[in-house]
Amino acid sequence: MTPKLLRVRVVGALAIALAICSGCTFAAASALPSAVSAAPFVVENQGRGRANSYWAARFDDVVAAVLRAGERLELEIAELEMEDDRATLRYVDDQDKSIDLRIDRRTDAVTRVQFDAGSREFLGFAGLLGRQIADELNDADAFLVDWSDGRDTRFE
């Protein structure tokens, strides 16, 4: 793993956790140095263990990344409902704590993931899950833009 990719992954997780825990709304690209914000996503805290995140990736790729992330973290899927442009699922850990996710297609290039950790007690784990989702999307080369150099190369 390259140092740059490692920084992106670590800072991405911190950005999600910070936004969920701090009560602020921010764009990852504007809050972080460009060298560590290559993963194009935005996190918006909704309070009480809830957050919206927006990913510059196709709906099907995000759903697949969420499922791989849950598998990698050895979470159990307690509920799963798939529709054309929406997926909802509930993950539970070995302590029977749950986190709900709703994944919505917003455009062909933008997908929203809503996290509901239920309370502040499980927020750190929500941040870890968000980091793993970003990692899975990076590994699949599924992000449609690259913010590492501050410009959108999708149209070049």
Q: What CA–CA distance (Å, rounded) separates 74 from 22?
A: 27
Q: Is residue 35 situated within a structural domain?
A: yes
Q: For the chain, how big is the Rg over CA atoms in Å?
A: 14
Q: What CA–CA distance (Å, rounded) separates 99 from 139?
A: 23
Give the model's pLDDT for residue 146.
77
Q: Is residue 16 situated within a structural domain?
A: yes
Give the model's pLDDT for residue 127.
83
The token duo for 29 is 């690209």
Give the model's pLDDT for residue 105.
98
Range of the domain at 115: 3-139
Q: Which residue has the tokens 């950790």?
A: 117
Q: Would residue 56 be called left, alpha or beta, if left means φ above 0 and alpha means ψ between -120 and 50 degrees?
A: beta
Q: Is residue 147 situated within a structural domain?
A: no
Give the model's pLDDT for residue 149.
64
- Ordered per-residue pLDDT tens for the chain, 156 residues: 555 444 444 445 444 444 444 444 334 433 333 323 457 888 877 777 888 899 999 999 999 999 999 999 999 999 999 999 999 999 999 999 899 999 999 999 999 999 998 876 667 778 889 889 999 999 999 999 877 766 554 444
Q: Is residue 46 situated within a structural domain?
A: yes
Q: Is residue 151 situated within a structural domain?
A: no
One-letter amino acid at 88 equals T
CATH number, domain with residue 58: 3.30.310.50
Q: At what angle do helices 123-139 and 3-22 cross, to 10 degrees?
A: 150
Q: Is residue 145 situated within a structural domain?
A: no
pTM of full prediction above 0.75? no
Q: Is residue 107 situated within a structural domain?
A: yes
Three-state SS at 105: strand
How many domains in the chain? 1
Q: Is residue 150 situated within a structural domain?
A: no
Q: Which residue has the tokens 């809050």?
A: 31
Who's near 136: CB < 8 A, 6+ residues apart?
A: 64, 65, 66, 68, 69, 72
